[in-house]
Chains A and B, each alone.
Chain A
Amino acid sequence: MSPRLCSLAPALGAVAAGVALVFACGCSTVTQVGGIMGQATGVVSADQAQAITKSAQAMEKTFEDITPEQEYYIGRAVAATVLVTYKPFDREQANAYLNLLGQTAAQFSTKPETFGGYHFLLLETDEVNAFAAPGGLILISRGMVRCCKSEDELVAVLAHEISHVDHQHGLKAIRKGRLTSALTTLGAAAGSSLAGGQLAEVTKAFEGSIADITSTMMNSGYSRTTEFEADKGAVAIMKKLGYNPAALVTMLEQMEGQLKADSAGFGKTHPAPQVRIAELKKVIGTEAPLQPASERQQRFQKAMGGV
């Protein structure tokens, strides 16, 4: 993202530092502060709202307070921002098949109902890459599709991304201080709509949040633990759905070969395929990969053959 967006950081740094201690303790206090924050965001006075939002406990509540609707707007802007760097691959048949497979798989996640639903789109790039924007907008590169030799392997890739959405990994990448400024503004706003200056404040926090998420997804990557969590979630989805989760392993083996030639994308942001496979084997055992059924293989080839 542009450096302009990052300039918010120092201003929020002080606030963030003040609450770092509380965050280190985890999220267990979230419910306790629920009532307090509730008052702050409702019809109470601006003074009260500000006093509370300044507190460390209030900070924790901000993440919990991202409603599905707000998650949806964050996700839209994240996807649009990723699409500035990666152009969409405009092939109707391939994208239709991707959505058929992906939207079917998403029903077997833990939170199948998101505000705007799950939608999938191919990216033009040869880079091995995939992005899961909050709320369920999922972008998959052609390079990633080429790591898949079957529908079962492609559904494994999609299930991994769905799992990122399910666990709200994108939202968790938002810097802790970011939402507080927005909340302070919102708490201070008495009316139902924001005045010009207040809107600008909230938009600033919004821009910052988008920058946090996209830079994590595109540059730094999530932590290994986060990726393993997404892999485990993918296995769970595949099992419920009725596909053999071993396809995730065979896909990763193929990815290993692809990544040697191209270290951008997943090579940079994800743990090495061998490391993920080792973790996965603890969860799925040593089931034999499912032989591709002719019908699945046929439709996969038809839709994705030329991708």
Chain B
Amino acid sequence: MKERSKRWLSLGLILLAATALAAGPVEMSVQVKSGQVLETPSFLGKVVARLNYGDRIQVLEQQGDWSKVTAPDGQTGWIHSSALTKKKIAMKAGSQNAQTAASGDDLALAGKGFNSDVEADFKAKNRNVDFTWVDKMEKIKVPPEAKQQFLKDGGIQPAEGGKR
């Protein structure tokens, strides 16, 4: 009996510790050039906020592949978790390159790896490689509403509403 209550006590302590860890929002960074916060955990939802690379956000809860977040401007909504990282991303002063800051386990290879400086050097050394069309294709961005309309017009019903 004594043994059993001890076990319950330790289980209780573990649960307590787990709750303490789980409580409170977790801070994460946006790891894509431009992120979108949606009203619902689905790409079919309305966009309520836009985020920039390196923005720090508070993750309130997770549902499948989606995270409920509070954006820097206080707006709350859902973002696909693939847009987020636990790492801190600091933008390098006077440059468009990011640098990942060092802090404990969240440390990563600094953004001084393959970046726009390296691309410029690559271009200078490989003059036959033309980036014109790469830049052009990157400009083709389909707005969320157009995607939704496209599915609707085509009679396509996403099986999971893009929720997972």
Chain A interfacial positions (CB closer than 8 Å to B):
34-35, 37-39, 41-43, 62, 65-70, 72-74, 76-77, 79-81, 83-84, 88, 95-96, 99-101, 103-104, 107-108, 110-117, 119-121, 137, 151, 182-183, 186, 189, 192-194, 199-200, 202-203, 206-207, 209-210, 239-243, 293, 295-296, 299
Residues of B89-140 whose CB lies within 8 A of A: 92, 95, 97-100, 102, 105, 107-119, 121-122, 125-126, 128-131, 133-134, 136-138, 140
Q: Which residues does chain A contribute within 8 Å of B95, judged by CB atoms? A: 193
By the criterion CB–CB under 8 Å, are A100 and B147 in contact?
Answer: yes
Residues of B within 8 Å of A, CB-based: how many?
63
Chain B interfacial positions (CB closer than 8 Å to A):
31-35, 43, 53, 65, 79-80, 82-83, 92, 95, 97-100, 102, 105, 107-119, 121-122, 125-126, 128-131, 133-134, 136-138, 140-142, 146-147, 150-151, 153-160, 162, 164
Number of A-B contacts (CB under 8 A): 197
By the criterion CB–CB under 8 Å, are B140 and A95 in contact?
Answer: yes
Residue of B nearest to A87 (CB): B133
By the criterion CB–CB under 8 Å, are A65 and B109 in contact?
Answer: yes
Known: A41-B107, A103-B147, A207-B122. A121 touches B113 (CB 8 A): no
By the criterion CB–CB under 8 Å, are A38 and B80 in contact?
Answer: no
By the criterion CB–CB under 8 Å, are B43 and A206 in contact?
Answer: no
Known: A35-B105, A115-B32. A182 touches B113 (CB 8 A): yes
- How far does the Cβ of B10 sit from chain A's closest Cβ, in whole Å? 27
Contacts A66-B109, A84-B130, A100-B147 known; 13 new A-B pairs at CB < 8 A: A43-B102, A65-B113, A80-B129, A100-B142, A101-B150, A104-B147, A115-B32, A116-B138, A117-B34, A119-B141, A193-B92, A240-B160, A242-B151
A/B interface sample: 10 pairs, CB < 8 A? A41-B109, A69-B98, A72-B33, A76-B134, A103-B142, A111-B82, A137-B134, A193-B112, A206-B118, A240-B162
